[in-house]
Each structure stands twice: as C-alpha cells, then as structure tokens.
Amino acid sequence: DERELRAHFEETVAADRRVEPRDWMPEAYRATLVRQIAQHAHSEIIGMQPEGDWITRAPSLRRKAILWAKVQDEAGHGLYLYGAAETLGADRDDLTRRLLEGRQKYSSIFNYPAATFADVGVIGWLVDGAAICNQVPLCRSSYGPYARAMVRVCKEESFHQRQGYELLWTMARGTAAQREMVQDAVDRWWWPSLMMFGPPDAASPNSRRSMAWRIKRHSNDELRQRFVDMTVPQADRLGVTLPDPELRWNEERGHHDFGTPDFAELARVIGGDGPCNAERVARRTAAHEDGAWVREAAVAHAQRRARRTDD
Ligand code: ACO
C-alpha cells in the first residue's frame, strides 16, 4: 500500500541510495524533478546561442574547432537531460512547447549578449565554472538518471571551463587591447554569473524541499560562496580584477566576503525582460519550426518500420 511505498522511498533517500524510474515516488518529487531537469535541458540548448554566434568569426582554425566541439557538447547535454526527464513520464514535445510559450524557464545567464571574442573565454571560465560548481553535487542527486547524466556532463564542462581559461590566458598575454577586452568581458559577466545560483536562500521557495529530498545537496548561497572562493585565485593568476569593491578574504570565516548581486535584475531577467530574452526565444522558435519536417519524417519512418514488423 501507499504507506509502505512512501516509507521505502524515504528510506532510499535517507540512505543515499538512488531512486529509479520504476520506483514509486511522491508526485511532488516527480514534478520538482521534471521542472528542474527540463529547465536545465532548455538552458543547455538555449546556451548554444551566445557562443554559437562566434563559430564563424573565431580568429583561427584551432579556436573554431574548439568552439564548434564545445557548442555541440551543449546540444548533447540538452539531449541527455531531455532523456532523463522522459524517464519521469515527461513528453519532450510538451516540454519544448512550454519553453517556447514562456511556461518553463531557462538559465538567466543566456540572456546576456556575447559582445566580443573575449566573451567566449569568459563564458567558459565563469559561466561554465559556475555550472560545474552547481552540477558536481548533482552527480549525487537522489534521482538515478539525473545523477548519472551529470557525471558525463560535468566531465565535459570541466573541459569547457579549461578552454575558456586557456583562451583568456592567451589573450591576457597579448596586446594591451586584448587585455582590455578580457577585463571588459569579466566586468560584464561577473555579476550575472553569481546570479546563476538563483535567489538568496531566504527567497528560494524550492530549496528546502529539494534539499530534504536530496535532489539539491547544497543551498544557492552555499554554492555561490564556493564559486567565489574558487574563482578569486584564478582571477589573480590571470591578472584581472573582479568588479566588486567589497570582495576580500575573511580570515575568521575562512571564505571571501563579497557584495550582493542585484537580485532585482535577476528577477527581471527570469521574468523575460533581460537584454536578449526575446531574441533567444525567437531563435529557438524558428529553429523548432525549421526542424518540423525532420521530426515528421522521423515519425513517418518509425511508423513504416513498425508496420513492416507487424506483417
Ligand atoms: N535563471 C532562471 N531561473 C532561475 C534561476 C536562474 N539563474 N535561479 C532560480 N531560478 C528560478 C527557479 O527555477 C525557480 O522557478 P520555478 O519554481 O518556476 O522553477 C525560482 O527561480 C526560484 O528559485 P529556487 O527556489 O532557488 O529554485 P531551485 O531550487 O530550482 O534552484 C537552481 C535553482 C539552483 C538553478 C536549480 O534549479 C538547479 O540547480 N538547476 C540545475 C542546474 C541548471 O539548471 N543549470 C543551468 C545553467 S548552467 C548551463 O546550462 C551551462
């Protein structure tokens, strides 16, 4: 009966074992996972846009090959994640429709423009760095298919982060104009990167329950702090300044103190009113419509094969 099933579910989570697709789970647990995994998948797919714009304009064949591979990885991550959402009974067409109609979210970070080639480096270093910080703990998430998808995603994200840092390292040792481009990109991406971790804990409606279910293993503020601590020494090595006058090492806490991100801006960007929201969604919509014939052909092909095996 349901009481027994619920007890088994709670025991599984408490013992740090994984919940698998065929196991009984509370409806709210399922809904929370679909929400988070779908958003995550949408972020990977929309996230191809800011950097994808630079593939044709990369300054060398080497940079073009690296960037191309990286953007393709993001598509792959989106596909694993849609696959993980499908194990919960979600329908991929339905998730896509919800994204295009603005009923499901994607990460705020991808609503900012990638203005120069230095932005490609900074997206790798800071944005993928923040993504790793958030996603490494998700490898231990209580839902099996999500946790396992995260293992591969995180390995690829580490490569993305390294390529961004290496690009910036090269530019920082180039001309004065290149160094200025790097600093300008860092100035523009620093605060939005901190916002990726979500609202502060006191204003995060989902955190408490998601942490109790061990979907999330750390709170938004804990991960934000971890990211700042990890990034400051990397910025020093690179010779760039992080644009926060309040940033300093706090000996007593054993962490860096830092300023408060503009959470009103985060709310606006999540609400659809960021610098590139309209452009990102319009482009995703056009790509979906342009791809309709491929989906139709795939369905027709599958139906014909199924008929043939019926005979
Ligand atoms: N961008 C867009 N929406 C956000 C963001 C953000 N940076 N941060 C929080 N939100 C949304 C939440 O999704 C939630 O809305 P919802 O209830 O409609 O889903 C609302 O703001 C309140 O936030 P929380 O209660 O803190 O939500 P949650 O517990 O889900 O935590 C977080 C948000 C940390 C983003 C979590 O969902 C998560 O870890 N997701 C997986 C990682 C991910 O999606 N990364 C995508 C970007 S990285 C990349 O793709 C390279």
Q: Does ligand 1 have an atom closer than 6 angstroms to the CB of 160?
A: no
E strand or H helix at 178: helix 176-195
**Phi and psi (nearest 5°) for 257?**
-80, 150
CA terminus-to-terminus distance, the chain: 42
Q: Does ligand 1 have an atom closer than 6 angstroms to the CB of 195?
A: yes
CA distance 20 to 214: 14
> Encoding tokens for residue 49?
């846009």
In this prediction, residue 160 carries a pLDDT of 97
In this prediction, residue 129 carries a pLDDT of 98
Flag whether the ipTM exceeds 0.90.
yes
Distances (CA, A) of 226 to 76, 97, 98, 176, 203: 27, 35, 32, 32, 19
In this prediction, residue 311 carries a pLDDT of 66
In this prediction, residue 309 carries a pLDDT of 81
Residue 255: count of CB within 10 angstroms of its CB: 13
Q: Does ligand 1 have an atom closer than 6 angstroms to the CB of 204?
A: yes
Q: Does ligand 1 have an atom closer than 6 angstroms to the CB of 207?
A: yes
In this prediction, residue 310 carries a pLDDT of 74
Distance 197 CA to ligand 1 centre (A): 7
- From the list 75, 88, 105, the residue with the least C-alpha distance to 30 is 88
Ligand 1, atom 45, lies closest to the CA of 40
DSSP 8-state assignment for residue 151: H
> Encoding tokens for residue 9?
């579910």
Q: What is the mean pLDDT of each run of 10 residues along the chain (311 residues)?
A: 94 97 97 98 98 96 97 97 98 96 97 98 98 97 97 96 97 97 98 98 96 96 98 98 98 98 98 97 97 96 91 66
